[in-house]
Structure 1
């Protein structure tokens, strides 16, 4: 098992790559593409060496009449979109191990069938409007397990906020099954 602490040396800031964002959101139905921008930072903040700072818009819920607030289903969908983008950008820009040895085709083949949520925890601190808000996803630790069933484990934390002071946060463990063979 190899544990990769996300490097905190060297500062990198990457602004929204619209082509990559469109590819990441392609599997979603048109009315469920909530992620609008994603700024990826590495090494900017000591405790958050790799993070995506995102903006979202949910004009109307894709599954229920308007509740007037951000809810757990939307939390999860937005989390998935941030995670997919941050992993894809990590591959494309070689930001963190083990993704430096992946190719974009490796990512596209695994986005839906192999990137799984293993543990999901969310807290809603104060009501949030879902029409326009921001979110941050941080990779805390990335672990690659070798052997008969190789895996990549990613410990993450996320936060959401709106302009009126609404807040939600969570901690999620991602598992990537069937990673490409190590070089």
Structure 2
């Protein structure tokens, strides 16, 4: 673990963890869509954010458009969001993930961490060959109708060095999170 605490703000910073990143991106090896090259995580005031560096040498589903498109934004968001959650679980950095283990994370990464809503606004074209992005946890809530779900609202931004910019917000649903049980009246 490489972390650093800012004594003035209480902010905790985690440097890029290449081994964790490689494990998080394992599902993206087919086709070659490992777009996230490095990421750092910052934790403060019970919330966290991740900043990442991306490169898309060629799109995985279409001829090269020369700019970042909505499908690639979704993939990039997923990769950085997965890394953010994994790092928070690994470092026990947020109360929202206190009941999670890394085994829980690996078991839930694909089947139980779901996008419920994805919003995007493209302001200026982004060069997909080299750009940065940020995802953040804005708010956690819980529902427990037929299954326990931890809901997480996550704003995001992507930008390049030439002023390209896109932003949006995602509502994530973490289904059957560790520590939450089915309500007796829902069973």
TM-score in same-fold range (> 0.5): yes
Q: How many residues align?
A: 172
**How far is 1:101 from its partner?**
1.9
SS in 2 for 1:135: strand
What CA deviation, in whole Å up to 9, does each residue of 1:68-93 have, x standing for no partner? 11000000000000110001111111
Segments of 5+ residues of structure 1 without an aligned counterpart are 1-8
**How far is 1:50 from its partner?**
1.2
RMSD, aligned α-carbons: 1.8
Segments of 5+ residues of structure 2 without an aligned counterpart are 1-8, 182-187
1:159 to 2:157 alignment: yes
Q: Mark the structure with the bigger radius of gyration.
A: 2
Could you say which residue in structure 2 is the equivalent of 1:37?
Answer: 38
Could you say which residue in structure 1 is the equivalent of 2:10?
Answer: 10
Could you say which residue in structure 2 is the equivalent of 1:174?
Answer: 172
1:101 to 2:102 alignment: no
State how far apart, in whole Å, the 2-side matches of 1:55 and 1:64 are: 22
**How far is 1:10 from its partner?**
2.4
Asked if 2 retains the 8 angstrom alpha-carbon contact of 1:133 and 1:163, the reply is: yes
Could you say which residue in structure 1 is the equivalent of 2:3?
Answer: none
TM-score by length of structure 2 reads 0.87
1:138 to 2:136 alignment: yes
Asked if 2 retains the 8 angstrom alpha-carbon contact of 1:82 and 1:137, the reply is: yes
Asked if 1 retains the 8 angstrom alpha-carbon contact of 2:120 and 2:168, the reply is: yes
